[in-house]
Structure 1
Amino acid sequence: MSGRNGSAESYREGVGHLSEWSRNTKKEFLIDWQAGKSDEWTFVQGNEAGDLDSMTAALAWAYHLEHSTMNTDHPRKAIALLQTPSDALDLRPENKLALKKAKMTSRHEDLLTIDELPEDPETLSRKITGVVIVDHPKPLRRWDDAKVLSIFDHHEDRGAFPDAEPRVFEKVASCTTIVGRQMLDELESLPEEYHLPHELLELMLSAIAIDSNGLKPDDTTDADLTTSKRILKRSRWHKKDLKDIMEDLEDELEDAQGQIDDFSLRDLLRRDWKGDLVDTPSPRTPTVSLGFASIPMSMDDQIQRTDFKELFDWFAEEAAWTAEIGVDITVCLSKYKIKTNKKHKKKIREITLTVRSDVRVDEDQADDLFRVATLAIEGAEELKNLKPWYRADELGHRQMVWTHEGGGRKIVTPIVEKAVINWEMHQDRAV
């Protein structure tokens, strides 16, 4: 039997309180939409990459919003919205494993995904009560007309929606840490605590474990550690050692995360994709669409996933994907490890930049965008030992690949975004 994303997965009905709540919530939302009552609902949504942290934080806060207000004069209806298409969910095997361990229904039938919305986000955003953003600093452009009620994020604070409440930005390993701490603080202040299903608590521990590398000291803050202890205390595993639990979860999830041998290049580009539109006030300069992909393997290995196993085909398949979703600038961030000796490995990162001219920008604008993005990348102090890829001289027009030993998407994204924003300002001044 094929799953809803085409995978051969036998049907397994979810058991337990989390699955039942999630499925019923999805059903109730669709019934209310049909009855013209979308305005009663709050959407809790993460980023479109749909990683375990983003998904778990959204589920946890939606559950909390509903249950913490259930016996009040102002009960709230809340649902977690995954901004990942249903056919892309299994491109993250670690999510599939975590949801199975949480006893959720197979094929993700308990979850509401972006492609299951009965109306486009631009229309629906004007009807719902509002949105809560988790694991992202602001909503995607398609939700611009929705009221932003709260934001929980562990990335850079861009100053958006200062009136949101709660509004928490904190550099911790996992956004689930921030959501979990707030949830438990509010839960413990209620006159009577609501039931927290063990499946949700264990899913939260899984999300923190994978983002903190099993609570390893170099990757963990005091907040991650303290919140994990509080969650563990309420779970079925409360008699077990926290360190042992988190290390076991991280090992299991990391093993699953690496099960991508059968993925095509298109799958790899889609599985961890983040992007959005950047507006400009200038009539000369169009809106620009930026997209960032993260792939846990080298360009050489990615090329072997293409039909012809050649460099030209990597860029042909990347162009087909970005044309499909209407992206102007793509930054693909690759990472892999090489052995330095028998005991040690060194992490190598690659940045692949492409700019296309057939969507919103003409040839001259595309050339200029490529120029400023290139200058920004090559001038960034954070990108240690940046140098052209060993096959850079084989690349085509508006294509570039670098290797470096610096940070990943959290470092590269603001570098490129600021370059594009400055380019827009430059173009506007040139009018």
Structure 2
Amino acid sequence: MKNMLKKALTAAMFAGILAGCASEEDTVIMAPVPVVQSEFTPSTEWKASVGNGVGQYYSKLTPEYAYGKVFVASRDGVVKALDPETGKTLWETDVESDVSARLSGGIVAAYGQIFIGSENGRVLAFNEETGEQNWTAEVDGEVLTSPATDNNFVIVHTNSGMLIALDQVTGESKWTISTEVPNLTLRGNSTPVTASGGVFWGTANGRLAAAIVERGQLIWQQPIGMPQGATEIDRLVDVDASPLILGSNLYIIGYNGQLTAIDLRSGKPVWKRAFSSATDIASDGSRLYIVTEQDHLVAFDARSGTELWNNDQLENRLLTAPTIINQYVVVGDSEGYLHWIDRSSGEFVAQQEVDSSGFAVAPITIPGGYVLMTRNGDVKKLTISE
């Protein structure tokens, strides 16, 4: 049985990672917190909060920095704009709904607005300056990931296998592309990305898909993982990571699939490596960094796919996707630790215990520091004093 699935089924706080799965008796041992002699200690510039955060739900509400503001949101429907220098609330709005807001996908800023999706099959648009809710659109399926924006469209990927383009002014649906969804999938979806008039996204049936943004025409699909095994669980091949574009190549990874580099012009693979993950890839321009299904942090040369280092000391700690801050790769874990790893060597450089509620998403960089949000809704800006 795959380790990622075992973690999802045995860690009660993260129940719901797998859609429609029965119980699992196997137990998983979480690696102890590594002993690290920190080379620096971050300084806290300000603290804020947003609602009740996301709790122990799947919601991936990553903060967004845009228009000179930090935007944050909670699953229960509180949305805020914060001053990046002071943390002061510039505006706050509470989603008005006849049901629980269940915000889960976002935040993305574009067209003078911010966009957030929900488990209720809704996409919401807010004025970035005032927080006024401009429109709400109903879509087919839960929106568990951030929308993409291009060509005056807001493009969302739902758990029903739909890629839907909405008009950024009205929320009106402009086109829809449907892809197959197996009976059993991981809880999560691939965030679409756009480039050169195309939109690219991973699918629940193990493929990378590409379409023309302007008219929603599917142009190709490339297999990233092929179902294998006797049971539906063994045959999971979700591509939940967001595609990463560097130059003329696109990089993607799937669960029970492969880390794959694809030439954007031809749609054909450049190289493949047998690694499995359901989280986004990070890059510093020359290297790729992934968190595997076992929570191993691995670095690759982006050009050749050569494995550079593999750090397995955070195994089964339910890590966030990796992010790059300065010369470090940073991940958060389910017990609220931030781990700082040297990008070149894979060795630990620093570690901080931030909050016992843990992390659902990685920190983001903003001018003068970085912002993190814990599962209980605490928001902090920190700077590094080395």
Higher helix share: 1
Shared fold by TM > 0.5?
Answer: no
Provide the TM-score with structure 1 as the length reference. Answer: 0.25
Provide the TM-score with structure 2 as the length reference. Answer: 0.27
Higher strand share: 2
